[in-house]
Structure 1
Amino acid sequence: MSFSNEKLALLQDSLNINRRDFLKTSAAAGAAVSLGLKPEPAKAFAYEPYPRDDELETVVTSCAHNCGSRHMLVAHKKGDVIVRLSSDDGRYQQGGAFGKDTFEEPQLRACLRGRSYRSRLYSAERLLYPMIRVGARGEGKFKRASWDEALGMVAQRMEELKAKYGPTALLDQSYAGASYGVLHKSDQIEGLLGRFLGMYGCRTNSWSVPSYQATTFSSRTTFGTIEDGNEDDTFAHSKLIIMWGWNPAYTFHGGNTFYYMRMAKQKGCKFVVIDPQHTDSASSYDAWWIPIRPNTDAAMMAGMAYYIFANNLQDQQFINRFVQGMDPGTMPHWAHGQESFKDYISGRSDGVAKTPEWAADICGVPAKDIIKLAHMYATTKPAALKASWAPGRNAYGEQYNRMAAALQAMTGNIGKLGGCAEGVGKAWHAEGIAYPYDEFANVWYASIKSDRWAHCVLNYPNVKREEIGLWPRNDERDGVPPNIRGIFWQGSDWFNQLTNINKEIAAIKKLDMVVCMDSTITPSGLWADVLLPIATHFERHDVALPWYKGHYYIHRPKVIEPLGESKTDLQVFTELAYRLGFGERFNPKANRNYFHHNDAVDESYLREWWVNKVMHHQHVTMPWEEFKKRGVYKFKLPRPHVAFQDNIEKGVAWSTPSGKIEIFSSTLAQTKDWTKTQYGYYIPAIPKWIEPWESLNSPKTQKFPFHMITPHPRWRTHSIFHNIPWLRETYTQEITLNASDAKRLGIKTGDTLEVWNDRGGIVLPAFTTERCMPGVVIVYEGAWMDLDEDGWDRAGNPDFLTLDEPSPAGGFAYNTILVNLRKATNGRTHRPGWDKQKTARSHVFRRDY
């Protein structure tokens, strides 16, 4: 063994030893090798030896969040501690074996977010005890309290607010962030909080879903249902897949999306991406990238429709049989003479032909590319136009979704294998509720658009019903704005996630009670009065559902006992219900002791759900005990699940007033007073291009020249997992801008920028690239807010810049944002999170004030 002088010098420097000692050591090592001595096995550990697999118990469970799928996790535990997590390897389902992974029964493999969950379970921000605020609201100062003290305080304030302000005083802001299962369910539509407040008789509901409300409106208006999605295996049969505003590398709608799309690619399927940025999905599929100005998608689609009509490429036979209002010949008799979709596209009704050239001036896509794409889509069969939710998260986003549905219908790609009708994309139907139905479940006394609560609080009582999306009622409360005095957040970090956060901050200071129920200390929790520690899905018994796509159930046993003094949502609501006088009605299988011993009751609910709903309704023969033993049940469908296939092949009517696909909406056309609907403002009966409040075509660009979009990141689920070090190492919260814009402004990658508009300001580093079109900037949503003394958000949460104005159909304008930017001044710095110095702010919650 010999070393050059150069190598010796490097080793000396790195090991901090002199040459003589090094040569002695080298000689000894050489002698040992020459004598044939074997090295001893290493026995040194930085901490206790890591357990071997044969020392660990293996338990099948699942992910828990609304990330676009909900897949298997396998917990490997020693005693009552989860040591590591793995995922599906094929052996767990009936007839399974290690490595099994088939087209009909693919493995339900978790992504990096799910696999990192141990870091969230045991994070420094884990909420372990009830806490009561002692400082100013938002200051983040709390003291530890007993459950009796915390629930006593909540129950007392609920009674006071209901008596003083009436049945609309408490706002329900639950969501599917942390507790989504068939029993322990946090959900805006059918969750436990709505059941609890409805039975109590004091509830203002939040009716609009932030992710896809414009899409929900479009699907229900057009098809009469949100179950308009195919299962993802149908992608494997497509010859053309258009990913419109969809980046399945980050936000897959169904966990095996990539598996099936890769199959389509191998069969020669062509891919197109329409997006302001060149996404990882565009790279993965070698897709034709068409950059488009944000919030102009409906105009480009109208230009495509013009080309298809002008060249007689529409599927007229399909239109004549199944579609209402596509052209004058398919208009209903009662609407004779009213505007059809073709009348609008051709310009016959308004004098403006929606030509590709007209569209190009609006959306920035060359007319020749609009023509090329329209021709590809109309002449390739079957073709899947996947109209994702993101372009619908805009002002008038419902028009984009409805325009996409018109294209899907006019090309005859609905109800056919390899085609696509997707807006919402909900596919196979799961049996989703294990607790019993009650006549008071989901009862509300007022219902408003989710992100207009702050506007309602700040302007009460001088607020018009259309300003807050007030849902109509058939009683004396119709049109009366709710007097909101308290908020419940359950499985919801909405204070961090809804539009116009500075407006929320002003409103929350006026409230009398804010309760946050979560397993983690979140930014929303910092603004609460009471924090209630909720057990994670590892610490309670439940069953996981697929997330809008997928056909399976995953058993979720109680893997470990709840950490600290955590309780399940159902335990908390049951105990509160007993304190308020309706405990037996709320949880009919339990008694007051449920707060301390819940296992037998939960098992009874879940077993009953499996037998009465899954086995009876879905014809599953596997007994409950076997399902628990295996951990997963994967359905084998008799044919690929294609939305509306029976409508096309068997003549089943759509659930619309006409029984057809309604491009011309019967309901919208016959609405007289829009102020007395939940929408508040006029919505045309056919899809149309409507200029948004803010865009690159707006004169507002003189003051705010950049259009910001706020996509979903792959390293978080909204704000969930933001505090996980593993995931934070993969990405820095930053603002992406085009290299030419950066050069013009003297900005380089890594520079700290201030980004602002009339609503607020954020601070974050720059990333310059050619993968983003000029004039557009990108900031991923979900960063945990962190305000400086001037109210600027140092974490880079884009919702300090969003506008909370109501888009007519209830959509959220997360991507309708004009901003300006500059290099940071006044010493402003970016703080990427609460653990920048590898220390957590959780010590604030452990102090005794």
Structure 2
Amino acid sequence: LVAVSGNIGIAGGGANYANLQVGQSFDFEELTLPNRKQTSRKFSMMKQAEEVLRAVDPVIQMIIVTCGNPLTQVPNTNVVAKAFSSVKTLVVIDQYMTDTAALADYVLPTTTAFEEEDFYYSSMYHHYVNYGPKLVDAPGEAQPDLWIWTQLANRLGFGEAFDYTRTQFLEMTLTSLAPAGITLERLMAEHTVELPVESIPWHDRRFKTPSGKYEFTSSLAQDKGDDGLLKFTYPLESKWANPALAEKYPYNLLTIHPMRSNHSQHYHLFAKEPQVKVEVAENIAEQLSLENGDIVRVWNDRGEVTGTISILAKAHPNTINIDEGIWAKFGGSVNNLTANAESDNGLGSVLYDCLVNIEKVS
């Protein structure tokens, strides 16, 4: 609609998709040394568990998890648990005993954002970089991720690639920004600096398509053998695409972002222990004689969760909402129910393509 109305590439047009140029401002190649990589395998987040289970030549024998909690965050939790339990060694680097950490053979305690010096930026909402100084010492034997990886590199025989101080690594990150006057010294003094990126997305109205234009019919899709036309498609799990499944599981599940947490990160900090809240549309409550506070089981062929009913007056009929991110010890992840299929272009998830059933339990 914004393209049809001419609102792309103008101030106030309201058209944006992420803000990838922000992350592209930093010199990550200086840090990651991609030229050193010889062979690799890449799995999508949605299919990682299946790929781990069927990987050969070589078989996956170790998984190291950092900056994540896959047993709560990756779709189809039961398959994820099977995959992460199948490897000989599971290592988790974290500050807390998450669902994934509880499954691990080794848990390496790491520092929080308050216990180490670093840069912070958003790849979505703004184009500023922030400097965060170390504020307090880490408790016990907790160490920064950088220290952990450096120690591992030393033991594997290529420690020279990590033989830099944290200050030197931070300076490397800013190499590409030095011509714009953005240095570590300036960031330390000012704490927040605006990055030299285009403030209006697609201001030149040049797009990363084969034609360079905004395409209502996709030439990229045509190159892949499709006609490239816009299509109306039904969810795979719906009464239109799979009436037999919808007969068994008649309700649509939405796995919404929680109000008081960023994914699964903060539930353990709540003053009151969190519970799984199952928000249902009024018509579901009427059909099944459910009342606020009732304990219910929500299930499908992939798994189940148990929670407390909250009747949501404005919910679309036949819709159930459950926050994503809740740990197993607080009632279980809603990803026990979600599918780990990939979207039609292979780049996204189908988390909202999910049918379930629900019943009251005593």
The two structures have a TM-score, normalised by structure 1, of: 0.40
Measure the CA separation in 1 of the matches of 2:8 and 2:262.
31
Q: Spell out, residue by residue over 1:183-206, the C-alpha distance to the aligned partner (whole angstroms, 9 max, x if none).
A: xxxxxxxxxxxxxxxxxxxxxxxx
Matching of residue 734 in structure 1 with residue 277 in structure 2: yes
Aligned pair count reads: 358
What root-mean-square deviation, in Å, do the aligned CA atoms of Structure 1 and Structure 2 show?
2.6
Distance in 2 separating the partners of 1:457 and 1:546: 31
Instruction: Report the Cα offset of residue 437 of structure 1.
Output: 5.2
Residues 257 and 324 of structure 2 are in contact (CA less than 8 Å); yes or no, is this contact kept in structure 1? yes
Equivalent in the alignment of 1:808: 344
Change (3 A) 1:606 1:415: same
Cross-structure match for 1:819: 356
Equivalent position amino acid for 1:798 in 2: V
Corresponding residue for residue 569 of structure 1: 145
Select which of 78, 91, 100 maps to 1:515.
91
CA distance in structure 2 between the aligned counterparts of 1:741 and 1:525, rounded to whole angstroms = 37
**1:405-444 aligned within 5 A:** 407-426=1-20, 428=22, 431-433=25-27, 435-436=30-31, 438-440=33-35, 444=39
Distance 1:532 1:613 in 2: 33
1:750 corresponding residue in structure 2: 293
Q: Does 1:761 align with 2:337?
A: no
Which residue among 147, 153, 156 is the counterpart of 1:580?
Answer: 156
In structure 2, do the counterparts of structure 1 residues 451 and 428 end up closer, same or farther at CA, with 3 Å as the change threshold? closer
Matched, 1:452 2:12: no
Contact persistence 2:31–2:172 (CA under 8 A): no
* 1:665 pairs with 2:221: no
Question: In the alignment, residue 703 of structure 1 is paired with which amino acid?
Answer: K
1:488 aligns with 2:64: yes
Shift of residue 770 of structure 1? 1.0
1:561–1:551: structure 2 CA closer, same or farther, 3 Å change rule? same
* CA deviation after TM superposition for structure 1 residue 661, in Å: 1.7
Secondary structure in 2 matching 1:807: coil
Return closer, same or farther for 1:505/1:627 CA change in 2, 3 Å cut-off. Answer: closer
The aligned counterpart of 2:204 is 646
Q: What's the offset of the Cα at 1:443? A: 6.0
Cα distance change on mapping 1:629 and 1:524 into 2, 3 Å: same
* Counterpart position of 2:255: 710
CA distance in 1, matches of 2:288, 2:7: 46
| SS across alignment from 1:549 | coil
> What is the SS of the residue equivalent to 2:93?
strand
- CA 1:608 to 1:457, structure 2 compared with 1: closer, same or farther past 3 Å? closer
Q: 1:547 to 1:703 in 2, by over 3 A?
A: same
Corresponding residue SS for 1:627? helix
Aligned mates of 1:578, 1:456 — CA distance in 2? 30
> CA shift at 1:662, angstroms?
2.6
Give yes or no for contact 1:764–1:796 (8 Å, CA) kept in 2. Answer: no
Post-superposition Cα deviations, 1:393-415, rounded to whole Å, max 9, x if no partner, equal xxxxxxxxxxxxxx332222211
Q: Does 1:720 align with 2:265?
A: yes
Give the secondary structure class of the aligned counterpart of 1:408: coil
Shift of 1:696: 4.6
Conserved? CA contact 1:575–1:583, under 8 Å: yes
Cα shift readout 1:21-55 (whole Å, capped 9, x = no counterpart)? xxxxxxxxxxxxxxxxxxxxxxxxxxxxxxxxxxx
Q: Distance in 2 between matches of 1:608 and 1:425?
A: 22
Q: Which runs of 5+ in 1 are unaligned?
A: 1-406, 462-480, 590-600, 648-652, 673-682, 787-793, 826-849
> Is the 1:502–1:760 contact (alpha carbons within 8 Å) kept by the matching residues of 2?
yes
TM-score by length of 2: 0.89
SS at match of 2:314: coil
Q: 1:670 to 1:521 in 2, by over 3 A?
A: same
Distance 1:426 1:418 in 2: 19
Task: Classify 1:564/1:440 alpha carbon distance in 2 versus 1 (closer, same or farther; 3 Å).
Answer: farther
Instruction: Write the distance in 2 (CA, Å) between the matches of 1:552 and 1:707.
Output: 39
State percent identity of aligned pairs: 27
Equivalent residues of 1:430, 1:545 under 8 A apart: no
Within 1, Cα distance between the matches of 2:43 and 2:15? 29
What SS class does the counterpart of residue 447 from structure 1 fall into?
A: coil
* Equivalent-residue separation in structure 2 for 1:733 and 1:424 (angstroms): 30
- In structure 2, what is the Cα distance between the partners aligned to 1:626 and 1:509? 47
Pair 1:615-2:209 in alignment: no
- Describe the superposition over 1:364-407 as per-residue Cα deviations: whole angstroms up to 9, x where unpaired: xxxxxxxxxxxxxxxxxxxxxxxxxxxxxxxxxxxxxxxxxxx3
- Asked if 2 retains the 8 angstrom alpha-carbon contact of 1:427 and 1:643, the reply is no
Provide the rounded CA distance (Å) in 2 between the counterparts of 1:446 and 1:554: 33
AA at the equivalent of 1:654: F
- Which residue identity is paired with 2:176? K
